[in-house]
Amino acid sequence: MILRIVTFTAQGEALAHRMIEEWREVIPQYRRKEIPLEQWTGECFAKHLPILFVGACGIAVRAISPFVKDKLSDSAVVVMDEKGKYVIPLLSGHMGGANELAIQIAKKICATPVLTTATDVEGLFSVDVFAKNNGLRVMNREGIREVAGKLLRGETVTITWDDQVRCELKKEGQEELKQIEQEPVAETVTKLLPKGIRFVPFETKDVDIRIGTKKSLGQMEEKTQKLLLLAKEYLLGIGCKKDKSFSELDGFLKEHVAWKLEEEIHAIASIDLKAREEGLWELAQYYHLPFMTYSAEELASVEGEFSESEFVREMTGVANVCERAAMYAAGEGGELIQKKEASNGMTVAVSRRVPVIRFR
C-alpha cells in the first residue's frame, strides 16, 4: 500500500526511514519540507490515502481537522511519537484501516499500539471491519452503531445471509464438528461464529444483520434488519504501462466500466509486475478496494478463451493480463462478464464472483 508520512525532527525522520527500510509491502510517500502541512494533508484526504504523523497528536489533530468528513471515506490517520514508544490510530480505525495499520507499525518498531475503539478494547466482533474485509457495501450506516451497541451491552446479535452468498467458517477441530453435526443448522453455524453472534435462517423476518446480493435486495427490503450489507460482486482486472497516474486510470475506468467502483466493485487485480505501481495503488486506496497481484504462472493457469497478445506475452510472460487477473481473483464459480477494453496503454476486464464471507 501507499503510506503518506510526515516527520518534524531528525529523530522522527530517522525512525520512519528505519521502519520502512525492510517493509516491502509499503510504498512510502514523504512530505517535502517546502509543501505546507495543511496543503499536503488536504491532498492525502482528497485521495483517501493513509497518513502517518511522526510527532505529537496535537499537530496531527490540527492538521486533519479541516478535512474530516465521513468515517466511511476519511483517510486513516496514525500518530507515532518520535522515539517509537507508542502508535495511536487517530481516525478511521475500522473502515480506513488505521487500527490494523497501527498494529503493523508497532510490530515493525517494537512499540505499543494504543487502540481506543470500543469493540477492539472489549475484544468484540467489529461489523464494519467485517464488511470491509468481505467486500460488503453498508446500505444503512446507522446500523453499524446499533449493532455495536448491542454487542457492547452483552446482547446477542443475529445474522443471516441468502443462498447467493457462500460462507466459510473456521473449523474448530474435527471432534467438535462431529459433536454438532446432529444439531439444527442454525445452532451448528452459531457455534463457529464470533462471540455474541447467532445465526438465523434467511427467512427470519426481523434480524440484526442481513447479508445478500443485488438479486435479493428487493426481498431483503421487505424484511426488517438493523444493518443491511450488500455483497460487491464484481472485480476489475487491470493492465497498464508503467507510471500511469491515478487520474489517467480513474478516467479510463469511468469511461469503460459501467459499474460504480465505490458501490459494486469488490477488488482490483493485476499481474505481480505491477505490485508497486503507484497509480494502481492510489486508485485502489481511493476507492477502499483490495489490490491483488498474481504471477504470470498463476494467470496462465486460468482456463478459458481470452483476448491474447504475443506482445503482452513477451513483456509479462502471459498473453493476457486484465481478463485472466479478473478471473483468477473471482475464484471458483467466477465468470467473465466484460472482455478486454483498451485505451492509451491501459486495459480492463470485469468478472463476477460468487460472494464469500469469512469471519476472521
Please check whether residues 242 and 347 belong to one and the same domain: yes
Do 326 and 274 share a structural domain? yes
* pLDDT above 60 for 180: no
Per-residue pLDDT for 174 more than 50? no
Domain shared by 141 and 107, yes or no: no
Q: Average pLDDT of 90-97?
A: 88
Decide if 27 contacts 51 (C-beta within 8 A). Answer: no
pLDDT of 178 over the 80 cut:
no
Per-residue model confidence as pLDDT tens digits over 67-78: 999 888 899 999
> Would you say residue 172 has pLDDT above 90?
no
Q: Residue 214 pLDDT more than 80?
A: yes
Q: Stretch 34-61: mean pLDDT, rounded? A: 95
Q: Is there a single domain that holds both residue 259 and residue 328?
A: yes
The reply to whether 122 falls in a domain is no
Residues 226 and 238 in one domain: no
Q: What is the mean pLDDT of the chain?
A: 90
CA distances from 255 to 206, 252, 268, 347, 359 (A): 41, 5, 17, 12, 36
Tell whether 296 is covered by a domain.
Answer: yes
Asked if residue 185 has pLDDT above 80, the reply is: no
- 216 and 274 fall within a common domain: no
Q: Are residues 147 and 88 in the same domain?
A: no
Same-domain check for residues 283 and 346? yes
Answer yes or no: is pLDDT of 149 > 90: yes
pLDDT for residue 343: 94
Read off the CATH number of the domain in which 89 is found.
Answer: 3.40.50.11220
Would you state the pLDDT for residue 179?
52
- Do 193 and 226 belong to one domain? yes
pLDDT > 90? residue 296? yes
What is the total count of domains within the chain?
3
When pLDDT is cut at 50, 70 and 90, the band that residue 66 belongs to is very high
The answer to whether residue 173 sits within a structural domain is yes
Place of cell 493457469: 301
Are residues 82 and 142 part of one domain? no
Q: What percent of the chain has pLDDT over 90?
A: 71
- Segment 289-299 shows an average pLDDT of 95
Band of pLDDT at residue 171, cut at 50, 70 and 90: low
In which domain, by residue range, is 65 found?
2-116
In a domain, 279, yes or no: yes
Residue 173 has pLDDT above 70, yes or no: no
Residues 324-334 have pLDDT tens digits of 999 999 999 99
**Is a pLDDT exceeding 90 seen at residue 184?**
no
Both 239 and 320 in one domain: the answer is yes
* End residue of a domain, out of 65, 84, 116: 116
Say which residues have a Cβ less than 8 Å from residue 55's Cβ, sequence separation at least 6.
6, 7, 8, 9, 12, 79, 81, 82
pLDDT at 284 over 90: yes
Instruction: Please give the backbone phi and psi of residue 123, each rounded to the nearest 5 degrees, phi first.
Output: 70, 35
pLDDT at 169: 77
For residue 310, what pLDDT is reported? Answer: 87
Q: Which of 212, 230, 248 is the last residue of a domain?
A: 230
For residue 121, being part of any structural domain is answered with no
Report pTM. 0.85
CATH number at 273 reads 3.30.420.180
Segment of 37-41, 140-144, 213-217 carrying the highest mean pLDDT: 37-41
In a shared domain, residues 87 and 33 = yes
Flag whether pLDDT at 187 surpasses 90. no
- Decide which of 186, 202, 230 is a domain's last residue: 230
Share of residues in the chain with pLDDT > 70 (%): 96
Residue 56 lies in a domain: yes
